[in-house]
Amino acid sequence: MNQIGPYTLKNNLFLAPMVGVSDTPFREICTQQGAGLTIAEMLTSNRELWQNERNKLKQIKPQTGGPHVVQIAGSDPLQMADAALSNQELGADAIDINMGCPAKKVLKKAAGSALLRDTKLVTCILQAIVSKIDIPVTLKIRTGWCPNTRNGIEIALIAEDCGIQLLTVHGRTKECRFKGDAEYDTIAAIKQAVKIPVIANGDIDSPKKAAQVLAHTKADGLMIGRGAQGKPWIFKEIEHFLRTGTKLDKMKLFQQLGVISSHLKKLHQFYGDKKGVWYARKHVSIYVKELTSSREFMAEFNRVNNPEQQLDQLEKYFAHLVGIPTINQPKELGEIAA
């Protein structure tokens, strides 16, 4: 499944819309590292809040060449339809509807996964949005509200009937949040029940796991969230494994440095020097958490307050990891696997 409406995708590996993570810079990095589609961070359907700087940034289209998918959340059908139309007018190529978020602040507004308890409201929202816009509409859900009320198949059938063109299913209920292991039996059952493409999501953190989930669910593609944090090259690894049955060579340290540095530069440019430095700290801490002396490095890195110093600190750290004085010898770095 490499198609959404009129858009042809390079593969069926998607980046999940994670709030505070899947911003425009990270979407661009993940696309460069092999993702076939990325979805923007969840955006409220309340347009009165769009003047907030953070919400404005969520609507900026990445420079990736692929379709720009904006995800909206809310519980009022008319408000959500208007939000979808506004995003279409602002340049969105597709709209994704959030019916999977388990966050308390979202649930308090009867949005996200709270909607799974009200199939009539689900129908009203989907019909309102699909009838309002001309671009493809997709939907992201969980398997149900709680393990005793898994109604993913019912929601999927409603979605298909309403004109949803693609469905992503996270293999947990709202009650499960991100605890325990994702279950894929419900995703497999949903895939069998509908004709629209189904994307499997949840705990996909390696090429082997990706192949297992596809084999078990017969899904049309995979969505990767937390597995891509600090490791955006997971998309290349999975794509290679699914295509060849062999593991891609592990990324060398100098290659990792190249990706991380590129990500930091995008963050600095996108958010500006001050906020770019703040966001870079969070991402770098995840990139390096399994590397030698990462805690000591982050203690120093977090004291730095400008982009140039961040990039310099990062370069010195990676040079230290491979025991050379500078990072200007990629061949030497390449000889030492990460």
| Gap between the Cα atoms of 56 and 329, Å rounded | 41
The amino acid present at 238, given as its one-letter code, is I
101 labelled catalytic:
yes
First and final C-alpha spacing in the chain: 33
| Gap between the Cα atoms of 162 and 154, Å rounded | 12
**Cross-strand pairs, 223:** 14, 201
Q: Is 237 helix (H, G, I), strand (E, B) or coil?
A: helix
| Gap between the Cα atoms of 21 and 42, Å rounded | 11
Report which of 243, 249, 201 is spatially closest to residue 223, judged by C-alpha positions.
Answer: 201
Catalytic residue chosen out of the listed positions 101, 124, 162, 176: 101
Q: Please, which residues have CB within 8 angstroms of residue 236's CB and are 6 or more apart in sequence?
A: 33, 34, 248
DSSP element (H, E) containing 249: none
Query: Among all residues, which ones are annotated catalytic?
Result: 101
